[in-house]
A and B are shown apart, each in its own frame.
Chain A
Amino acid sequence: MDHRQHHLESIRGGISLLLSPLHYLVNLPVQIGEWAGETLATREALQEENTRLRSEHLSINARLQRLAALEEENARLRALLKSAPKVAEKLLIAELLSVDFDPFTRQVMVNKGSSHGLYEGQPLLDAHGIMGQLVHLSPVNATAMLITDPSHAIPVQFNRSGLRAVALGTGAAERLEIPHIPNNADIQVGDLLVASGLGGRFPAGYPVARVIHFEPDPTQPYAEVVAEPSAHLERSREVLMVWPVGWEEEAEQ
């Protein structure tokens, strides 16, 4: 019942709310460690970091200016073509809690929940790419399935050749498999995979993974393609929750 039809999600949400003090208690040492690390950092280290962040901020801002101009131009061109302009996506920053799940699955917990407007199936990003999607919600926290979970699949597109495929999680930390790729496909090691947006769950265009292994095998119908997730799945502490265009319909389903 729970697996196929999700009738028990509200019960799970309730229990999860009940257990949330325990989650925060487990997370506390890590938080204290971070706080202590920041408080006890030397003045020079902080200054150094500050300078670095400032220069980073400057360069990103400069790029953003160009992006704004491009977006404007894109909207104008789309208006000329009489097609609907792409609406900007809504974002929210959340933090990961350091709690572990079943070691044979890949799940993480974030410190925002349905009371912050999150919904089931919502995509989760970090600074480098797509991380996964939310599977269970409680009012104060939410559980997300990473793209490396063995039961997860994400529709992708090869950025260089435009070939569409599906990337499957393997349960290993830094490994995705792309099945059903013909032997003569135009793929090179290092190719970037981006979300294709098919299926409507993930926003199109965000990086997902990079091909690290491509082996055409003439004795098999399909080639072996392995990719490494772009997002820092095991290291990121802060994540971005995205409301892609048209999420209202998605949330209602």
Chain B
Amino acid sequence: MRNEPRHGAWVIAMSVAIALMLTMLPLPEWAEHARPEWVTLVVIYWVMALPQRIGVGVAWLCGLLLDVVRGAVLGQHALALTVVAFITLKLHLRLRVYPLWQQGAVVLMLVALEQMLVLWVKGFLGLSPEGWYYWLPALVSALLWPWLYLILRDLRRHFRVK
């Protein structure tokens, strides 16, 4: 492991940066609630593909950035992403052999879990949002997962990120 050169850290950094940009990209009012959790999806992918490199620590860092981008209380997304990364780490061998739609189902569960944790923190602070559409991002994220997976996999192979 030690002898292997660690290629393409910049590819991972770029993908996270693009995910953050997509998170703050202005959307029309009606689409605002359906914005997928880009950062979560990217973190899930990299933890699954390179578990020896990307783990709970990186997920925590990404969560902190996400907190600032969304103007949330520092740490709420960090906590949620840490838990999501931990579960992905435990499941990564199984996830890799699943067909895409089944991966999508697991992603639905993971993103819903993330939102649940965020909702929990928000509830503590007395800021809990109302309405069923709070859960919409989980569904949209799961539907987008196959495409994101294919794009990131091709990028990873092309730049030989190990």
Contact = CB atoms under 8 A, between A and B. Distances in A.
A15 B65 contact: yes
Nearest to A143: B71
Interface stretch (B20-28, B48-56, B146-154): B20-28
A23 B24 CA distance: 8
A23 B25 CA distance: 9
A101 B26 CA distance: 9
Contact of A103 (B33, B64, B68): B33
Nearest to A103: B32
B139 to A, nearest CB: 15
Contacts of A25: 21
A62 interface: no
- Centre residue among A11, A12, A22, A103 by max chain B CB count within 10 A: A103
The interface size bin for chain A is: 20 to 34
B29 A101 contact: no
Contact of B74 (A2, A26, A107): A2
B20 A22 contact: yes
Given A22-B20, A99-B24, A151 B127 contact: yes
Interface of B: 17, 20-21, 23-27, 29, 32-33, 35, 64-65, 68-75, 125-127, 129, 134
B74 A101 contact: no
Interface of A: 2-3, 8, 11-12, 15-16, 19, 22-23, 25-26, 30, 98-105, 107, 135-136, 143, 150-151, 171, 173
B71 A105 contact: yes
B20 A19 contact: yes
Q: Give the dominant DSSP class at A's interface.
A: mixed
B29 A173 contact: yes
Contacts of A11: 74
Contact of A102 (B29, B72, B74, B126): B72
Given A8-B74, A99-B24, A19 B69 contact: yes
